[in-house]
Amino acid sequence: ETGVTQTPRHLVMGMTNKKSLKCEQHLGHNAMYWYKQSAKKPLELMFVYNFKEQTENNSVPSRFSPECPNSSHLFLHLHTLQPEDSALYLCASSSAPGQGWAAFFGQGTRLTVV
């Protein structure tokens, strides 16, 4: 248990569906992230939130829409996805720079788009 919880663990959705991934941390961290892990590719950063403000969008298509209502919660809203969006989506949080920027990851949501 890393202190970062993601739900659901598995999700199958059609290309016309709308769904949301949820991430929650109670580690007192200020920064939260979404990463995408596809087969045979390195983890790719998608979004970064720092103190609830989005500070990074790594050229992610608009069919992925993040939301960070507070420092403890992060959502990834999904709509009209493509089969190539099937992947493991990982949420992470990190401490402030002065505390070493250690990153803690959730267990991930395995997304399958059919």
Partner 1 sequence: KQEVTQIPAALSVPEGENLVLNCSFTDSAIYNLQWFRQDPGKGLTSLLLIQSSQREQTSGRLNASLDKSSGRSTLYIAASQPGDSATYLCALTNMNYGGSQGNLIFGKGTKLSVKP
Is 62 near partner 1 (CB under 8 A)? Answer: no
Q: How many CB atoms lie within 10 A of CB 82?
A: 10
- Comparing CB distances to partner 1, the nearer of 24 and 56 is 56
C-alpha 92/C-alpha 66 separation (Å) is 14
- Comparing CB distances to partner 1, the nearer of 73 and 79 is 73
Is 12 near partner 1 (CB under 8 A)? Answer: no
**Residues in the site for partner 1, rule: CB under 8 A?**
2, 4, 6, 31, 33, 40-43, 45, 48, 50, 55-56, 88, 90, 92, 94-97, 100-108, 110
